[in-house]
Amino acid sequence: MATKTLDDLFYAGLRDLLYAEKKVLKALPRMARGAQAKELKAAFEKHKEQTEGHVERLQLVFDIIDKRAMGKTCPAIDGIIEEGEEILEEFKGTTAIDAGLIGAAQAVEHYEITRYGTLKRWAENLKLPKAAELLDATLKEESKTNEDLTALADAGLNKQAVAA
C-alpha cells in the first residue's frame, strides 16, 4: 500500500471543498427564492457572490500545488444540502421557513469553517503561505456569513417562527 502524506490529505480536502462550494452555488438561489424575509434573501444572494470568489480562490490554491482542480463527491455536504431542501419543501409558506433556512445555511457554514480552518493549518504545515492566506480569506468570509445569519435570526426571524 502506498504511503499517504499530508500533501495527499491536503489535495483530497481541496477536492472536497471544491465540490462543496459548487453544490452550495447551486443551492443558494433556491434558498433565496424560498426565503420570505427580504434581508434573508439578500444575505443568500450576497453569499452566492462570495461563494463564486471562494471557487476562484480554490482554483488558485490548486495552481499553487500544481494539481488539477477537480471536485470529489462529498457525502457530508450532500446530506447537509438535502436537509436544507427538505426544509424548503416541508416549511414552504410557513412563518418558520426563514428560521429553518438560517439553520440549514449555518450547517453549511459550520462545515465549511471546519474544512477551511483545517486546510489553512495544513497549508501552513506544508510551507504554502500563499495557499494558507487564500484559505484564511475564505475562512474569514464564511465565519462572517455565519455571524450575519445569527444576527438575522436574533433580530426577529426566530421570534416570528415562534409567534405564529
Cα of first residue to Cα of last residue in the chain, in angstroms, is 59
**pLDDT recorded at residue 152:** 93
The pLDDT value given to residue 18 = 98
pLDDT recorded at residue 164: 59
Nearest Cα residue to 85 out of 34, 25, 160 = 34
Whether the model pTM is above 0.85: yes
pLDDT score, position 15 = 98
The pLDDT of residue 162: 79
The CATH number corresponding to 6-163 among 3.40.50.970, 1.20.1260.10, 3.40.50.880, 3.40.50.150 equals 1.20.1260.10
Residues 6+ apart with CB under 8 A from 42: none
- Identify the helix (H) or strand (E) that includes residue 127: none
Map out the domains of the chain as residue ranges: 6-163
One digit per residue, pLDDT tens: the chain, 164 residues?
789 999 999 999 999 999 999 999 999 999 999 999 999 999 999 999 999 999 999 999 999 999 999 999 999 999 999 999 999 999 998 989 999 999 999 999 999 999 999 999 999 999 999 999 999 999 999 999 999 999 999 988 888 877 65
- 3-state SS, residue 8: helix
